[in-house]
Amino acid sequence: MPPKQPRAWQRMLSGRRLDLLDPTPVDIEIEDIAHGLAFVARWNGQTRGDFPYSVAEHSLLVEALFGRMYPRASVADRLTALLHDAPEYVIGDMISPVKTAVGPDYGKLDDRLAVAIHVRFGLPAVPTKALKKRIKAADKVSAWMEATEIAGFAVAEADRFFGRPAPELIDGLRIAPRPPVEVRAEFTQRHADLLAAL
Protein backbone atom coordinates (compact mmCIF):
# COMPACT_ATOMS: atom_id res chain seq x y z
CA MET A 1 0.00 0.00 0.00
CA PRO A 2 1.49 3.38 -1.00
CA PRO A 3 2.20 5.84 1.82
CA LYS A 4 -0.60 8.29 2.55
CA GLN A 5 0.02 11.73 1.13
CA PRO A 6 0.33 14.41 3.82
CA ARG A 7 -2.54 16.89 3.97
CA ALA A 8 -1.72 20.04 2.02
CA TRP A 9 -5.03 21.88 2.35
CA GLN A 10 -6.39 24.20 4.97
CA ARG A 11 -10.05 24.68 5.84
CA MET A 12 -10.99 28.34 5.89
CA LEU A 13 -13.65 29.95 8.06
CA SER A 14 -15.75 30.40 4.92
CA GLY A 15 -15.83 26.60 4.65
CA ARG A 16 -13.53 26.57 1.63
CA ARG A 17 -10.69 24.07 1.42
CA LEU A 18 -7.60 25.73 0.03
CA ASP A 19 -5.03 23.32 -1.40
CA LEU A 20 -1.65 24.98 -0.90
CA LEU A 21 -0.02 22.87 -3.60
CA ASP A 22 -2.74 23.58 -6.16
CA PRO A 23 -4.74 26.65 -5.10
CA THR A 24 -7.71 27.54 -7.29
CA PRO A 25 -9.54 30.87 -7.56
CA VAL A 26 -12.87 29.29 -6.54
CA ASP A 27 -11.43 28.57 -3.10
CA ILE A 28 -10.42 32.19 -2.47
CA GLU A 29 -12.74 34.45 -0.45
CA ILE A 30 -11.93 38.03 0.56
CA GLU A 31 -13.38 37.45 4.02
CA ASP A 32 -10.84 34.67 4.60
CA ILE A 33 -8.02 36.88 3.34
CA ALA A 34 -9.06 39.88 5.46
CA HIS A 35 -9.51 37.74 8.57
CA GLY A 36 -6.21 35.94 8.16
CA LEU A 37 -4.19 39.07 7.39
CA ALA A 38 -5.74 40.94 10.33
CA PHE A 39 -4.38 38.26 12.67
CA VAL A 40 -0.92 37.87 11.11
CA ALA A 41 1.67 40.06 12.82
CA ARG A 42 4.35 41.94 10.92
CA TRP A 43 7.90 42.01 12.29
CA ASN A 44 7.28 38.66 14.04
CA GLY A 45 5.17 40.61 16.53
CA GLN A 46 8.15 42.64 17.72
CA THR A 47 6.36 45.99 17.60
CA ARG A 48 5.25 48.57 20.15
CA GLY A 49 1.63 48.86 21.16
CA ASP A 50 -1.16 46.87 22.73
CA PHE A 51 -2.01 45.10 19.47
CA PRO A 52 0.21 43.44 16.90
CA TYR A 53 0.77 45.41 13.71
CA SER A 54 -0.96 43.19 11.19
CA VAL A 55 -0.31 42.44 7.56
CA ALA A 56 -3.79 43.81 6.83
CA GLU A 57 -2.81 47.20 8.32
CA HIS A 58 0.45 47.10 6.38
CA SER A 59 -1.44 46.31 3.16
CA LEU A 60 -3.79 49.26 3.65
CA LEU A 61 -0.79 51.55 4.22
CA VAL A 62 1.03 50.25 1.15
CA GLU A 63 -2.04 50.83 -1.01
CA ALA A 64 -2.40 54.39 0.35
CA LEU A 65 1.29 55.10 -0.27
CA PHE A 66 1.07 53.56 -3.74
CA GLY A 67 -1.82 55.93 -4.52
CA ARG A 68 0.24 58.93 -3.39
CA MET A 69 3.32 57.84 -5.30
CA TYR A 70 1.46 56.93 -8.50
CA PRO A 71 -1.71 59.05 -8.57
CA ARG A 72 -2.47 58.03 -12.17
CA ALA A 73 -2.35 54.31 -11.36
CA SER A 74 -5.38 52.30 -12.44
CA VAL A 75 -7.86 50.89 -9.97
CA ALA A 76 -6.60 47.41 -10.91
CA ASP A 77 -3.07 48.44 -9.99
CA ARG A 78 -4.26 49.81 -6.64
CA LEU A 79 -6.15 46.58 -5.96
CA THR A 80 -2.99 44.64 -6.79
CA ALA A 81 -1.12 46.83 -4.29
CA LEU A 82 -3.73 46.13 -1.60
CA LEU A 83 -3.40 42.40 -2.24
CA HIS A 84 0.40 42.36 -2.56
CA ASP A 85 0.83 40.28 0.62
CA ALA A 86 -2.48 38.43 0.42
CA PRO A 87 -0.89 34.93 0.28
CA GLU A 88 0.27 35.54 3.84
CA TYR A 89 -3.29 34.90 5.05
CA VAL A 90 -2.37 31.24 4.64
CA ILE A 91 1.42 31.05 4.86
CA GLY A 92 2.06 33.80 7.41
CA ASP A 93 4.48 36.70 7.24
CA MET A 94 8.01 35.39 7.25
CA ILE A 95 10.62 38.02 7.93
CA SER A 96 13.29 38.31 5.24
CA PRO A 97 15.98 36.39 7.16
CA VAL A 98 13.63 33.39 7.50
CA LYS A 99 12.72 33.53 3.78
CA THR A 100 16.43 33.42 3.01
CA ALA A 101 16.89 30.41 5.27
CA VAL A 102 13.87 28.55 3.84
CA GLY A 103 15.01 29.10 0.28
CA PRO A 104 13.18 29.26 -3.06
CA ASP A 105 10.31 26.93 -2.12
CA TYR A 106 8.70 29.70 -0.05
CA GLY A 107 8.65 31.94 -3.12
CA LYS A 108 7.04 29.25 -5.27
CA LEU A 109 4.28 28.71 -2.72
CA ASP A 110 3.71 32.47 -2.47
CA ASP A 111 3.58 32.78 -6.27
CA ARG A 112 1.00 29.98 -6.68
CA LEU A 113 -1.29 31.53 -4.10
CA ALA A 114 -0.87 35.01 -5.61
CA VAL A 115 -1.92 33.77 -9.05
CA ALA A 116 -5.11 32.20 -7.66
CA ILE A 117 -5.90 35.36 -5.68
CA HIS A 118 -5.35 37.67 -8.66
CA VAL A 119 -7.48 35.55 -10.98
CA ARG A 120 -10.24 35.33 -8.36
CA PHE A 121 -10.58 39.12 -8.33
CA GLY A 122 -10.25 39.73 -12.05
CA LEU A 123 -6.63 40.88 -12.07
CA PRO A 124 -3.87 39.66 -14.38
CA ALA A 125 -2.49 36.40 -12.95
CA VAL A 126 1.01 37.85 -12.77
CA PRO A 127 1.60 41.61 -12.42
CA THR A 128 4.05 43.21 -14.81
CA LYS A 129 7.61 43.74 -13.63
CA ALA A 130 7.01 47.49 -13.74
CA LEU A 131 3.97 47.22 -11.45
CA LYS A 132 5.81 44.90 -9.06
CA LYS A 133 8.62 47.45 -8.88
CA ARG A 134 6.21 50.29 -8.09
CA ILE A 135 4.46 48.26 -5.39
CA LYS A 136 7.84 47.31 -3.93
CA ALA A 137 8.75 51.02 -3.78
CA ALA A 138 5.59 51.73 -1.74
CA ASP A 139 6.32 48.65 0.38
CA LYS A 140 9.79 50.01 1.23
CA VAL A 141 8.30 53.34 2.34
CA SER A 142 5.87 51.44 4.55
CA ALA A 143 8.74 49.38 5.96
CA TRP A 144 10.67 52.57 6.81
CA MET A 145 7.63 54.02 8.59
CA GLU A 146 6.99 50.80 10.49
CA ALA A 147 10.66 50.39 11.40
CA THR A 148 10.96 53.89 12.85
CA GLU A 149 7.51 54.23 14.42
CA ILE A 150 6.85 50.83 15.97
CA ALA A 151 9.70 48.34 15.38
CA GLY A 152 12.45 50.06 17.36
CA PHE A 153 14.80 51.03 14.52
CA ALA A 154 16.84 54.20 14.74
CA VAL A 155 16.16 56.50 11.79
CA ALA A 156 19.72 56.10 10.48
CA GLU A 157 19.36 52.32 10.58
CA ALA A 158 16.02 52.41 8.76
CA ASP A 159 17.53 54.78 6.18
CA ARG A 160 20.25 52.23 5.51
CA PHE A 161 17.87 49.31 5.04
CA PHE A 162 14.88 50.95 3.37
CA GLY A 163 15.92 54.43 2.18
CA ARG A 164 14.39 57.55 3.67
CA PRO A 165 11.11 58.59 2.00
CA ALA A 166 10.33 62.14 0.99
CA PRO A 167 8.60 63.90 3.93
CA GLU A 168 5.63 64.97 1.82
CA LEU A 169 4.99 61.35 0.83
CA ILE A 170 4.31 60.26 4.39
CA ASP A 171 2.82 63.52 5.65
CA GLY A 172 -0.29 62.86 7.74
CA LEU A 173 0.18 59.08 7.77
CA ARG A 174 0.74 57.51 11.17
CA ILE A 175 0.94 53.94 12.36
CA ALA A 176 -1.16 52.96 15.37
CA PRO A 177 -1.84 49.22 15.66
CA ARG A 178 -5.54 48.52 16.17
CA PRO A 179 -7.74 45.58 17.17
CA PRO A 180 -7.86 42.95 14.41
CA VAL A 181 -11.64 43.26 14.05
CA GLU A 182 -11.31 46.94 13.06
CA VAL A 183 -8.55 46.27 10.56
CA ARG A 184 -10.40 43.30 9.09
CA ALA A 185 -13.46 45.48 8.45
CA GLU A 186 -11.40 48.28 6.89
CA PHE A 187 -9.49 45.89 4.63
CA THR A 188 -12.71 44.20 3.48
CA GLN A 189 -14.33 47.57 2.77
CA ARG A 190 -11.34 48.92 0.88
CA HIS A 191 -11.26 45.78 -1.23
CA ALA A 192 -14.99 46.14 -1.97
CA ASP A 193 -14.56 49.81 -2.93
CA LEU A 194 -11.73 49.05 -5.34
CA LEU A 195 -13.49 46.02 -6.81
CA ALA A 196 -16.63 48.09 -7.41
CA ALA A 197 -14.57 50.72 -9.25
CA LEU A 198 -12.91 48.24 -11.63
The tens digit of pLDDT for each residue in 92-136 reads 887 676 667 666 677 888 999 999 999 999 999 999 999 999 999
Judged against a pLDDT cut of 80, whether residue 156 lies above it is answered with: yes
Rounded Cα gap, residues 93 and 175, in angstroms:
18
Structure confidence at residue 167 (pLDDT): 96
Percent of the chain's residues with pLDDT above 70 = 94
> What is the pLDDT at residue 104?
67
pLDDT at 103: 67
Whole-model pTM?
0.93
pLDDT number for residue 54: 98
**CA dihedral (111, 30, 48, 164) positive or negative:** positive
What is the three-state SS of the chain?
A: CCCCCCCCEEECCCCCEEECCCCCHHHCCHHHHHHHHHCCEHHHHCCCCCCCCEHHHHHHHHHHHHHHHCCCCCHHHHHHHHCCCCCHHHHCCCCHHHHHHHCHHHHHHHHHHHHHHHHHCCCCCCCCHHHHHHHHHHHHHHHHHHHHHCCCCCHHHHHHHHCCCCHHHHCCCCCCCCCHHHHHHHHHHHHHHHHHHC
Question: Residue 89: its pLDDT value, please?
Answer: 96
Q: What's the pLDDT score for residue 108?
A: 86
Mean pLDDT, the chain, integer: 94
Is 78:146 a contact under the CB 8 Å cutoff? Answer: no
pLDDT of amino acid 2 = 67
Per-residue pLDDT, 21 = 87
Report the pLDDT value the prediction gives residue 113, as an integer from 0 to 100.
96
Alpha-carbon Rg of the chain, whole angstroms?
17
- Residue ranges and CATH numbers for the domains of the chain are 24-197 (1.10.3210.10)
Question: What is the per-residue pLDDT for 94?
Answer: 74
Confidence of residue 6 (pLDDT cuts 50, 70, 90): confident
The per-residue pLDDT for 27 is 96
Per-residue pLDDT tens for 26-65? 999 999 999 999 999 999 999 999 999 999 999 999 999 9
CB 145 within 8 A of CB 173: yes
Q: What is the pLDDT of residue 178?
A: 97
Closest alpha carbon to 68 in 185, 193, 160, 170: 170
